[in-house]
Structure 1
Amino acid sequence: MNRLAMILVALLVLSALGVLVLETWPVAGARPVAELQGDPKRGAYLARLSGCITCHTAPGAPPLSGGAALVSKFGSFYAPNITPDPTQGIGTWSFQQFVRAVREGVSPDGDPYYPAFPYEFYATLTDSDMADLWAALRATPAVGTPDVPHQVSFPFNVRAGLRPWRTFFESPVEYVPDETRSPEWNRGKYLVWGPAHCAACHAPRNVLGGLPSSLELTGDPAMQDGGKSPPLTARYLTANGYTKPALVETMRTGITPSGDVLGGSMAEVIHGSMKFLLDEHIDDMATYLLDIGRK
């Protein structure tokens, strides 16, 4: 065997070993979940709050039948059809499989989802929340729209690479109430760090898309879609003219204290999610945001 042939064989062996390592890299088993009777009305509200409808509905398409492209430096990701269609949607899923997908980012086949899906924040959702979401999705009309494949370049298109990524970069959010704070402040904290997943855009990610270990809403000057997001700390907000009524108005309408109108992905969040929220929840979020990072 000549030298070139030996090198090619060695490369093939190393490649095969690399694929084997990735494919067998362990993913944590599913956590237990209680079987509860869900409230579809509350679940529909959670779907708005969590951005499910915004991300999983393309312009002009039936609700939850699949989303428009989420463009990033890694490529374009397309949210799948999550209607109860048995072929193209999630009609054959069990409740346990649904919970694992949403809170842990693992498909029914055991494959990890790309972190473009903010499961790290949905880890805060309770069993009751999940039962309500499930009830709402099961009540949605089934639509047979096929999923659009992700358009991601090598090596990020190697799905198995997400297995070691999770080991080193996954940061599931844990919500712990602060007993020294008011119920409004604690609800705001839960909404901001949980279903509303504000840090998905307003916390800086590293070059591989991982969130910082100490999650803070310091903004991201180099978002994966090429844009940038401002801090959401109290110091930044107050310095830019945000009183509580002004922040509530911006979250509800997208109009800033200076009269500018928020655009880009934040406009989608406001018009697809925030404007549907209860006044008390918008108020809770403003209460929390105008208190964090004061020092």
Structure 2
Amino acid sequence: MKRKSLFALSAVVVVAAAALVPVLWSGGDNLHNGSAVAATPADQAALVKKGEYLARAGDCIACHTVRGGKQFAGGLPMATPFGTMFTPNITPDDQYGIGKWTQDDFYRAMHTGRSKDGSLLYPGFPFTSYTKVTRADSDAIYAYLRSVAPVNVASRPHELKFPFNQRNMLIGWRTLFFREGEYKADPTKSVEWNRGAYLIEGLGHCGMCHTSINAMGGPVNSAAFAGGLIPLQNWYAPSLTSNKEAGLGDWETKDIADLLKTGVSNRGAVFGPMAEVVHNSLQYMSDADINAMATYLKTIPQKSEAPEPLQLETSEKFGGELLKQGQKIYADNCAKCHAENGLGQPPAFPPLANNQSIQMPSAVNPIRMVLNGGYPPSTDANPHPYGMPPFAQSLSNQEVAAVVTYIRMSWGNHGTAVSPQQVSDLRSAPLD
């Protein structure tokens, strides 16, 4: 075996088109004085409804609700390279939630990354994206959160390593990586394109996952949307700027829209973190907004490639042996759904032939899908999705490497062989 520096870890077994993967708030701040702005019942009801929609677009529930817990009560542990953070209670509870926050307080958090008392919020809360959200939309989200049931539960303090538990250090981080300012429409583009850009870059905070981060936890802006490893999850959000990955320039707008709205399309399906995003957020968005996002995604220009993580590579001779072994394993275990020619039976069973996510430099996500299996999200438009069974118990490390090698190098695919050591490393990777 030898080591080779590769672009980044693959997406999912099929292309995940956007990355609204949830991130977290600062948490742990005590809340003080403030009150809501009065409105007529009809106006307030409309504002709350709008805010609920926008909160869905921002996928707030994913981070601020523990599975089986009270809605927006926080407490979700979020592992980071710097320690564990716990999401805060954002219900309108006066003691532990945002019950005493004003609209101004809430907008300041969204727009400037500062809490009610002026303290700096950790950038796990995506204020670097939310700063682009308009004041009107921020006020609507605030109105909605004020309408949900209050939960009297304190937020757990973060468990961050020194010196990352020192908030004053965030001043330097913000100087390097944060630019405050609402989204400014591009007058040379259509209204639909600008709406899509606003959602992708703002509430959607897609760049939080689709852009690599450096050792300081800051985005590599020179490679924005060029793909990135989601820390500690061992999933890769693919590049949106390259058609060799999840760049969508050669996709039909309908296929992109179907993928975002339902989790499946004739070009592929989403698994892993992106499946959660579709389930929690994107399926609830209007067709107009989904089409706007698809329109914008098709036009993201090519940018610099993401930094290359280290990855094992097989020798040419061993790769040939894996390819031959993988052909039989594929015929025995995969061909029934994905077909002998790799064309699958879309949208139920996605194609593997000519699939960009299969051929990306890293095979991490295809390996994870073979090991762990998975389902696209259950959505209103696709309530009973077909899933892929796990093969971790029935296939050895070399057999998994062999079948993924075969898939990556057959039917005109131009991927490279996979190392059994990569499979071994990923057997113990977290499933979330």
TM-score of the two chains, using structure 2 as the length reference? 0.56
Give the count of matched residue pairs: 260
More contact order relative to length (CA 8 Å, sep ≥ 6): 2
Contact in 1 for aligned 2:64/2:90 (Cα 8 Å): yes
Question: Secondary structure of 2:84's partner?
Answer: strand
Distance 1:75 1:188, change over 3 A: same
Unaligned 5+ segments in structure 2 are: 1-36, 304-432
Q: 1:151 pairs with 150, 159, 178, which one?
A: 159
* Equivalence for 2:264: 255
Query: Would you say the 8 A contact 1:173–1:193 is kept in 2?
Result: no
The answer as to whether partners of 2:238 and 2:246 remain within 8 angstroms in 1 is no
In 2, the alpha carbon distance for the partners of 1:237 and 1:125 equals: 26
Q: Does 1:81 align with 2:89?
A: yes
Match of 2:171 in 1: 163
What's the secondary structure of 1:270's corresponding residue? helix
Contact 1:234–1:291 at 8 Å: present in 2 too? Answer: no
**Which residue identity does 1:182 align to in structure 2?**
S
**Aligned residue for 1:20?**
none
Match of 1:245 in 2: 254
1:121–1:172 contact (8 Å) kept in structure 2: no
- CA deviation vs aligned residue, 1:233-278 (integer Å, no higher than 9, x gap): 2634357974322221221233365555411x22221111111111
Between the aligned partners of 2:265 and 2:236, the Cα distance in structure 1 is: 17
Q: 1:90 aligns with which of 68, 89, 98?
A: 98
What residue in structure 1 maps to residue 107 of structure 2? 99
List per-residue Cα deviations over 1:212-249 (Å, max 9, x = no partner).
Answer: 34462111146464432101126343579743222212
Instruction: Say if 1:172 and 1:195 are closer, same or farther in 2 by CA, change over 3 A.
Output: same
Q: How far 1:67 moved relative to its partner?
A: 4.5
Q: After TM superposition, what 4+ stretches of structure 1 lie above 4 angstroms from structure 2?
A: 35-38, 238-241, 256-260
1:205 and 2:213 correspond = yes
Amino acid at match of 2:123: P
Among residues 275, 293, 299, which one is paired with 1:285 in the alignment?
Answer: 293
Amino acid at match of 2:57: L
Secondary structure class of the residue paired with 1:141 = coil
Q: Secondary structure of 1:237's match?
A: coil
Cα RMSD of the aligned pairs, angstroms, is 2.4
Partner of 1:22: none
Q: How does 1:126-137 map to 2 (within 5 A)?
A: 126-137=134-145
Q: 1:42 aligns with which of 41, 44, 50?
A: 50
Match of 1:119 among 124, 127, 138: 127
Cα distance, 1:75–1:185 mapped onto 2, change above 3 Å = same
- C-alpha contact 1:241 1:257 (8 A) present in aligned 2: no
Comparing 270-279 with 167-176, which one deviates more in the overlay?
167-176
Partner Cα separation in structure 1 for residue 226 and residue 162 of structure 2: 31
C-alpha contact 1:72 1:225 (8 A) present in aligned 2:
no
Q: Aligned equivalents of 2:247 and 2:139: distance in 1?
A: 38
Alignment CA distance shift 1:121-1:91 (3 Å): same
Residue 76 of structure 1 aligns to a residue whose secondary structure is strand
Match of 1:196 among 195, 204, 228: 204
- The superposition leaves residues 11-44 of structure 1 with CA deviations (integer Å, 9 ceiling, x where unpaired) of xxxxxxxxxxxxxxxxxxxxxxxx7966111011
SS in 2 for 1:87: coil
Amino acid at match of 1:250: L
How many Å separate the matches in 2 of 1:157 and 1:253? 40
**Cα pair distance change 1:74/1:248, threshold 3 Å:** same
- Maintained 8 Å contact 2:128/2:180: yes
Partner Cα distance (2:265, 2:231) in 1? 21
Equivalence for 2:224: 216
Matched residue, 2:78: 70
Shift of 1:106: 0.7
Q: Which moved more, 1:81-90 or 1:208-217?
A: 208-217
How has the CA–CA distance of structure 1 residues 173 and 227 changed in structure 2, closer, same or farther, with 3 Å as cutoff? farther
Q: Distance in 2 between matches of 1:108 and 1:75?
A: 24
Identity %: 39
CA deviation digits over 1:148-202, x for unaligned, max 9? 2222112111222112221223244652212222111111111110111100111
Partners of 2:268 and 2:294 lie apart in 1 by 19
